[in-house]
Amino acid sequence: KNFPPGPFVLPLLGNILQLSLDNPLKDFERLRKTYGNIYSFYIGLKPAVVISGMKTIKEALVNKGADFAGRPQDLLINDVNDRKGLIMADYGALWREHRRFVLMTLRNLGVGKTSMEGIIHREIEYIIKTLEKGIGKSMSPQLMFHNAASNIICQLLFGKRYEYKDEFITKMVHSITKLTEMINGPWAMLYDSLPVVHNLPLPFRNVFTHFKTAIGLVNTLVTEHKKSRIPGEPRDFVDSYLDEQNKVCNFSSFSEEQLLVEALDLHLAGTDTTSNTLLIAFLYLSSIPQIQERCQREIDRALEGKNRVSFEDRHDMPYVQAVIHEVQRVGNIVPLSVFHAATKDTELMGYTIPKGTMIIENLSSVLNEEGQWKFPDKFNPENFLNEQGEFIKPEAFMPFSAGPRACLGEVLARMELFLILVTLLRKFRFEWPEDAEEPDYTPVYGVTLTTRPYNMKVQLRVPQ
Ligand code: HEM
Mutation probe of ligand 1 site: the residue of 407, 420, 421 with most atoms within 8 A of C-beta: 407
Instruction: For residue range 18-28, list pLDDT tens digits in order.
Output: 888 778 899 99
The type of residue at 148 is: A
* The model scores a pTM over 0.90: yes
> DSSP E strands: which ranges in 130-285?
138-139
Q: How far is the CA of 191 from the centre of ligand 1 (A)?
A: 24
Residues 310 and 418: their CA atoms lie apart, in Å, by: 9
Residues with Cβ < 8 Å from 333, sequence gap 6 or more? 273, 276, 277, 280, 399, 448, 449
Q: How far is the CA of 262 from the centre of ligand 1 (A)?
A: 13
Backbone angles phi, psi at 361, to 5 degrees: -95, 110
**pLDDT level of residue 297 (50, 70, 90 thresholds):** very high
Quick check: 91 pLDDT over 80? Answer: yes
- Beta bridge mates, 385: 391
Paired sense of beta strands 138-139 and 456-460, if any: antiparallel
Question: Bridge-partner residues for 361, per DSSP?
Answer: 51
If we measure between CA atoms, which residue out of 370, 368, 340 comes closest to residue 356? Answer: 340
- Report the Cα 436 to chain-centroid distance in Å: 29
Give residue 365 CA to ligand 1 midpoint distance, Å.
18
Please say whether the beta carbons of 401 and 310 come within 8 A: no
Q: Which long-range contacts (CB under 8 A, 24 or more apart) does 292-297 make?
A: 292/425, 292/429, 292/430, 294/319, 295/319, 295/320, 295/323, 295/425, 296/425, 296/426, 296/429, 296/461, 296/463, 296/464, 297/464
The Cα–Cα gap between 214 and 179 comes to 10
Q: How far is the CA of 408 from the centre of ligand 1 (A)?
A: 6
**Is residue 31 within 8 Å of 65, Cβ to Cβ?**
no
Per-residue DSSP letter, 333: S
Which residue, judged by its Cα, is nearest atom 36 of ligand 1? 407
Of all protein residues, whose CA lies closest to atom 43 belonging to ligand 1? 407
Q: Does residue 66 carry a pLDDT above 80?
A: yes
In this predicted structure, what is the pLDDT of residue 251?
Answer: 67
Give the residue from 441, 442, 436, 427 showing the smallest Cα distance to 456: 436
Residue 263 CB less than 6 A away from ligand 1: no
**What span, in angstroms and rounded, lies between the C-alpha atoms of 137 and 9?**
53
273 Cα–ligand 1 center, Å: 8
Q: Could you tell me how far CA 359 lies from the centroid of its own chain?
A: 18
Which tens digit of pLDDT belongs to each residue from 110-157?
998 888 999 999 999 999 999 999 999 999 999 999 999 999 999 999
- Residue 269 CA to ligand 1 centre (angstroms): 6
Mean pLDDT of the chain: 95
User: Mean of the pLDDT values across residues 73-85?
Assistant: 94
pLDDT at 1: 81
Helix axes 205-228, 167-182, angle to 10 degrees: 140
Cα gap 456→292, rounded to integer Å = 13
Residue 12: pLDDT band (50, 70, 90) is confident
Measured at the alpha carbon of residue 222, what is the angle toward residues 219 and 228, in degrees to the nearest 5?
A: 145
Q: Could you tell me if 192 and 45 are in contact, meaning their C-beta atoms sit under 8 angstroms apart?
A: no
Distance CA 109, CA 233 (A): 12
Answer whether 401 contacts ligand 1 (Cβ < 6 A): yes
Answer yes or no: is the C-beta of 278 below 6 A from any ligand 1 atom. no
Q: How confident is the model at residue 316 (pLDDT cuts 50, 70, 90)?
A: very high
Residues whose CB falls within 8 Å of the CB of residue 428, separated by 6 or more in sequence, listed in order: 131, 458, 459, 460, 461
CA 410 to ligand 1 center in whole angstroms: 7
What string of DSSP letters covers 349-415? TTEEE-TT-EEEE-THHHHT-TTT-SSTTS--GGGGB-TTS-B---TT--TT--STTS-TTHHHHHH
> Cβ(275) to ligand 1 under 6 A?
no
pLDDT band at 181 (very low <50, low <70, confident <90, very high): confident
248 pLDDT band, cuts 50/70/90, is confident
Ligand 1 in reach of 335 Cβ (< 6 A): no
pLDDT at 41: 96
Judged by average pLDDT, the poorest of 20-24, 107-111, 221-225, 456-460 is: 20-24
The β-bridge relationship of strands 351-353 and 358-361 is unpaired
Kind of pairing between the strands at 358-361 and 46-51: parallel
In ligand 1, the atom with minimum distance to the C-alpha of 265 is 35
Assess whether pLDDT exceeds 80 at residue 464. no
- State the pLDDT confidence band at 252, using cuts at 50, 70 and 90: confident
Contact 78, 72 (CB under 8 A): yes
In terms of Cβ atoms closer than 10 Å to its own Cβ (0-12, 13-18, 19+), residue 388 is: exposed
What whole-number distance in Å separates Cα of residue 293 and Cα of residue 308? 19
